[in-house]
């Protein structure tokens, strides 16, 4: 009976730990970034949302040229008062660059006072593909 109780409490700890980690990650994303993520898979909505939050000439037009899926925030950090979210997303379809299809694009979006103030291309995961 002691082993079963120990295994049950170990399983409960693991479940609680996973729930806490997932909850902490989602709560650390500011509402404006959540809006970007929620609208990221629809090209038109993505362009509208990025224009809504982006300071003039910060977000490159190329980000709106391809169909993207599965946006995931892989890293969050603050530098010099700017909150950066590293976002990864797979290129699903792209008439402007067929070679980009299937690659995972990585970029950092920098936020300050609810506005996108920095944008950094991280390129594709695992190789170089130009738009």
Q: Is 78 exposed, middle or buried, given 0-12, 13-18 or 19+ CB atoms closer than 10 A?
A: exposed
Dist. CA 107–CA 32, nearest whole Å: 17
Tell me the whole-structure pTM to 2 decimals.
0.73
pLDDT for res 15: 52
pLDDT for res 96: 85
Report the b/e string of 5-17 with b at 16+ CB within 10 A. Answer: eeeeeeeeeeeee
Dist. CA 71–CA 8, nearest whole Å: 35
Q: Contact at 8 Å (CB) between 74 and 64?
A: no
Residue showing tokens 């994303």 = 29
The pLDDT profile of the chain, 131 residues, written as one tens digit per residue, is 555 555 555 554 445 443 344 444 445 899 999 999 999 999 999 999 999 999 888 999 888 889 999 999 999 999 999 999 999 999 999 988 888 899 999 999 999 999 999 999 887 887 655 54
Dist. CA 59–CA 109, nearest whole Å: 9
Identify the structural domains of the chain with CATH numbers, from first to last: 30-124 (3.10.450)
pLDDT for res 19: 39
Q: What is the DSSP letter of 103?
A: P
């Amino acid at each position: 009976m002691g082993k079963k109780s120990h295994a049950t409490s170990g399983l409960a700890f693991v479940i609680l730990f996973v729930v806490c980690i997932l909850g902490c990650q989602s709560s650390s994303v500011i509402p404006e970034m959540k809006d970007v993520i929620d609208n990221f898979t629809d090209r038109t909505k993505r362009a509208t949302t990025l224009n809504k939050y982006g300071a003039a000439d910060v977000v490159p037009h190329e980000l709106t040229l391809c169909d993207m899926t599965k946006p995931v925030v892989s890293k969050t950090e603050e530098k010099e008062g700017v909150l950066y979210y590293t976002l990864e997303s797979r290129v699903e379809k792209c008439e402007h660059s067929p070679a980009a299809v299937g690659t995972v694009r990585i970029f950092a979006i920098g936020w300050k006072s609810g506005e996108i103030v920095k944008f950094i291309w991280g390129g594709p995961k695992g190789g170089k593909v130009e738009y």
